[in-house]
């Protein structure tokens, strides 16, 4: 499919199974600051098919949010230098003018943020806000949008939806607010949904229910999902593919089961070893990763994980490892000169 840089939201062709929904090619995002240039995303390439779910994991500051926001077209060119290509459902996002890019939001791609209050107006009743989101589709009347708002609240599991449409954001619990934000995001049945730490601010039981809701909505509406999370357990349970980010780069990626069963770049295995387990034995006690992620104003040469890696060699300090295919698992790639034992 040729990326469309002109039309508003009509994709060039109707996609079939196996077609690419999201294609990120060689994306670089840099922020010029008074202290120097922060390269938050460093030559990242990723692909996701229609209806598939991708998890992006990594420590704080690894570039997960900048990647997701830039792919969605939310990073302002005035604050950042952006190069590379992002194509969503046939639309070349970074080449579109602001108005055309905005026309994609809601109908082709939407985002759920960590803090639902940032997505909700404090005074406008939630039903009106959802109806407004529904009306991004110009063919929907005001009356239809109001009815659809009630249906959407029911879909996301809000009880007594017909009454709740009159509530304001501050009258709802955190979990309910996130359900409303999700209802707004899926109001126009986007093909792709970005969710940036959507449950981090919620307690554990509410988290589990919201994550189940993502699963249900993606399956029933055929939505592709990019879930940003620092929680490997969440990504393991709720996505099909995973991309591990370190200091702006992809350290490892592939099918979730394969990557977690055979982590090959030592940052991935270190992240996994840092997770507390329910039934910990002495050998499986969480092992925090030593040191800190690098300062992106002045990252180390070669492999950026080198200063924290127990397997680093002189080559690691001099040469940046490329992403290499693991071979027997299609799509499993890692960036490491001395991969984990299981991979050799
Ligand atoms: N507008 C900006 N100007 C300068 N630097 C920025 C800007 N936005 C992000 N950064 C930097 O880019 C890097 C990546 O930030 P990002 O928010 O993507 O991290 P993250 O992986 O989402 O972390 P977290 O898990 O804490 O949300 C960080 O070093 C951050 O300080
Ligand atoms: S390339 Fe070297 S420093 Fe980087 S993870 Fe692999 S062994 Fe460690
Ligand atoms: Mg973030």
pLDDT averaged over 10-residue windows placed end to end, the chain, 344 residues: 56 64 98 96 97 96 97 92 97 95 94 90 96 92 96 94 96 94 95 95 88 94 95 94 98 97 96 77 76 94 96 96 91 95 50
Ligand 2, from 311, 318, 335: best to mutate by most atoms within 8 Å of Cβ?
311
Looking at ligand 1, which residue's alpha carbon is closest to its atom 31?
61
Give the C-alpha separation, 72 to 29, whole Å.
13
pLDDT, one tens digit per residue, over 66-88 is: 999 999 999 988 899 999 999 99
CA angle (42 as vertex; 225, 51 as ends), nearest 5: 15
The pLDDT value recorded for residue 10 is 54
Q: Check residue 43 and give its pLDDT.
A: 97
CA 314, 316, 320, 323 dihedral sign is positive
290 alpha carbon – ligand 2 mean position (Å): 14
192 has which bridge partners? 109, 224
How far, in Å, from the CA of 37 to the mean position of ligand 1? 12
Long-range contacts, stretch 31-34, CB < 8 angstroms, 24+ apart: 31/79, 31/80, 31/81, 32/81, 33/297
In whole angstroms, what separates CA 4 from the centre of its chain? 23
Per-residue confidence (pLDDT) for residue 201, from 0 to 100: 83
Give the bridge partners for 196, in sequence order: 228
Which atom of ligand 2 lies at the shortest distance from residue 335's CA? Answer: 1
**Left, alpha or beta for 261 (phi > 0: left; psi -120 to 50: alpha)?**
alpha
Q: Name the pTM for this structure.
A: 0.93
- Nearest ligand 2 atom to the CA of 303 is 4
Distance from residue 198's CA to the centre of ligand 1 (Å): 17
Alpha carbon of 276 to those of 200, 239, 281: distances in Å?
A: 17, 20, 11
CA quadruple 99, 100, 103, 109: dihedral sign? negative
**What pLDDT score was predicted for residue 281?**
63
Nearest C-alpha neighbor of 321 from the set 248, 249, 245, 243: 249
Q: What is the pLDDT of residue 6?
A: 56
């Amino acid at each position: 499919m040729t990326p469309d840089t002109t039309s508003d939201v009509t994709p060039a062709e109707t996609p079939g199974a196996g077609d690419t929904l999201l294609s990120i090619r060689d994306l670089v995002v840099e922020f010029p600051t008074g202290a120097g240039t922060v390269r938050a995303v460093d030559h990242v390439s990723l692909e996701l098919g229609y209806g598939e779910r991708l998890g992006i994991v990594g420590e704080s500051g690894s570039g997960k949010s900048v990647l997701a926001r830039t792919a969605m077209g939310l990073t302002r060119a005035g604050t950042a230098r952006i190069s590379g290509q992002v194509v969503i459902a046939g639309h070349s996002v970074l080449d579109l003018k602001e108005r055309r890019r905005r026309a994609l939001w809601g109908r082709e791609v939407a985002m759920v943020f960590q803090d639902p209050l940032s997505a909700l107006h404090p005074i406008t009743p939630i039903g009106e806000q959802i109806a407004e989101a529904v009306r991004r589709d110009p063919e929907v009347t005001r009356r239809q949008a109001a009815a659809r708002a009630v249906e959407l609240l029911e879909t996301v599991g809000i009880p007594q939806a017909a009454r709740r449409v009159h509530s304001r954001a501050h009258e709802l619990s955190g979990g309910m607010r996130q359900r409303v934000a999700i209802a707004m995001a899926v109001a126009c049945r986007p093909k792709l949904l970005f969710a940036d730490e959507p449950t981090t601010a919620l307690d554990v039981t509410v988290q589990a229910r919201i994550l189940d809701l993502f699963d249900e909505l993606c399956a029933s509406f055929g939505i592709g999902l990019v879930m940003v999370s620092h929680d490997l357990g969440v990504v393991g349970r709720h996505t099909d593919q995973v991309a591990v980010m370190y200091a702006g780069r992809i350290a490892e990626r592939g099918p979730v089961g394969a990557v977690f069963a055979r982590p090959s770049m030592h940052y991935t295995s270190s992240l996994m070893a840092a997770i507390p387990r329910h039934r910990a034995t002495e050998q499986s006690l969480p092992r925090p990763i030593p040191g800190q992620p690098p300062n992106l104003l002045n990252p180390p040469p070669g492999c950026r994980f080198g200063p924290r890696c127990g397997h680093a060699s002189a080559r690691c300090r001099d040469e940046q490892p490329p992403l290499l295919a693991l071979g027997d698992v299609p799509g499993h790639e890692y960036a490491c000169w001395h991969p984990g034992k299981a991979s050799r």
